[in-house]
């Protein structure tokens, strides 16, 4: 089985970084290393990571600092460049890995030597009917989240790259200093453009927050325009489906409903990120029953 490094860019993630790291260490197959790249955080993100490292000395958690430049792309690159695994997993600091994520990613790349990038669906831990949401997300990402015919596009909250593939495209990926593109789609198109195969795995699951839906209409529409901007920067690539059309259609209803459900969770004292995989972690014996 190929080794897997986990790379987590972080900026002011004190609210969720401990939950994220907990999911990273409660895995059926341990990661080779868990790299948190802090990017000029002004909260106590670094302190939380350092305390977690002390509490889990055998998990090979590495805290790095990327202070030269603010931004996701340089922070992501910093971590990917320094990771030493055969496969480089990348997700956000508010994402929660399913307990078999590392094992699934390792299996995909071990069994398919032509796979250079892989992605999968996400569950939304702060929305109701999570199983239904996961099924719907799987349908969208497996069917329409594609380019140049039938090449899956990687999703930044749930993606992995073969290390050799990253090194091949490293000098090509767009810097996007204007911050108007989807950096995960940019990576995808550079892989595809270099003839490197991307694959989709429905068993490769993370959970993430739906907090994007709580942003203002102006901010949400600007985020949706990143799809168009990214493909405009890659005029040699085409897409048949435009997922942002579906997202814009769902936005008004979800934007109204989301804060109401957050109020319900707070009233019930439910921490959805902490509990999303807890039952499965217990079933697999990855945590104490008291957790």
- The sheet that has 96-97: what strands, in order across it? 96-97, 206-208, 122-124
pLDDT higher than threshold 70 for residue 259:
yes
Q: What is the mean pLDDT of the chain?
A: 95
pLDDT in tens, 210-247: 999 999 999 999 999 999 999 999 999 999 999 999 89
pLDDT of 82 higher than 90: yes
Q: CA separation (Å) from 233 to 154, 238, 284? A: 17, 11, 45
User: Above 80 in pLDDT, residue 161?
Assistant: yes
The residue-averaged pLDDT of 114-126 equals 97
- The answer to whether residue 65 scores a pLDDT higher than 80 is yes
Q: Round to whole Å and give the CA distance between 213 and 250.
A: 9
Q: Sorting pLDDT into bands at 50, 70 and 90, what band is 102?
A: very high
- What's the whole-number mean pLDDT along residues 63-79? 96
With pLDDT > 90 as the criterion, what percentage of the chain qualifies? 96
Q: Is the pLDDT of residue 171 over 90?
A: yes
Predicted TM-score (pTM) of this structure: 0.95
Per-residue confidence (pLDDT) for residue 149, from 0 to 100: 87
Which pLDDT does position 287 carry in this prediction? 87
C-alpha to C-alpha distance for 234 and 278, rounded to whole angstroms: 41
pLDDT(288) > 80: no
Tell me: pLDDT of 286 over 90.
yes
User: How big is the chain, counted in residues?
Assistant: 291
pLDDT band at 289; cut points 50, 70, 90: low
């Amino acid at each position: 089985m190929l080794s897997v490094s986990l790379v987590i860019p972080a900026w002011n993630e004190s609210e969720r970084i401990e939950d994220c790291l907990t999911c990273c260490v409660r895995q059926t197959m341990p990661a080779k290393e868990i790299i948190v790249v802090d990017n000029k955080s002004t909260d106590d993100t670094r302190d939380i990571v350092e305390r977690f490292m002390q509490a889990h000395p055998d998990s090979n958690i590495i805290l790095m600092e990327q202070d030269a430049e603010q931004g996701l792309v340089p922070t992501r690159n910093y971590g990917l460049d320094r990771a030493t695994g055969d496969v480089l997993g990348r997700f956000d600091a508010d994402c929660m890995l399913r307990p078999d994520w590392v094992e699934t990613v390792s299996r995909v790349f071990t069994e398919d030597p032509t796979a250079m990038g892989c992605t999968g669906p996400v569950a939304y831990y702060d929305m109701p009917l999570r199983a239904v949401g996961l099924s719907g997300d799987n349908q969208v990402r497996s069917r329409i989240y594609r380019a140049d015919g039938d090449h899956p596009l990687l999703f930044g909250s749930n993606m992995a790259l073969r290390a050799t593939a990253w090194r091949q495209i490293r000098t090509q990926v767009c810097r996007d200093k204007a911050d108007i593109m989807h950096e995960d789609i940019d990576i995808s198109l550079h892989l595809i453009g270099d003839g490197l195969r991307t694959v989709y795995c429905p068993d490769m699951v993370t959970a993430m927050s739906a907090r994007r839906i709580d942003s203002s209409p102006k901010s949400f529409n600007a985020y949706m325009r990143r799809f168009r901007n990214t493909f405009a920067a890659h005029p040699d690539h085409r897409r048949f489906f435009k997922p942002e059309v579906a997202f814009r259609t769902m936005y008004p209803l979800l934007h109204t409903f989301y804060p109401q459900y957050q109020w319900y969770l707070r009233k019930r004292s439910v921490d959805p990120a902490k509990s999303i995989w807890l039952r499965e972690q217990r079933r697999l014996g990855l945590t104490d029953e008291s957790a």
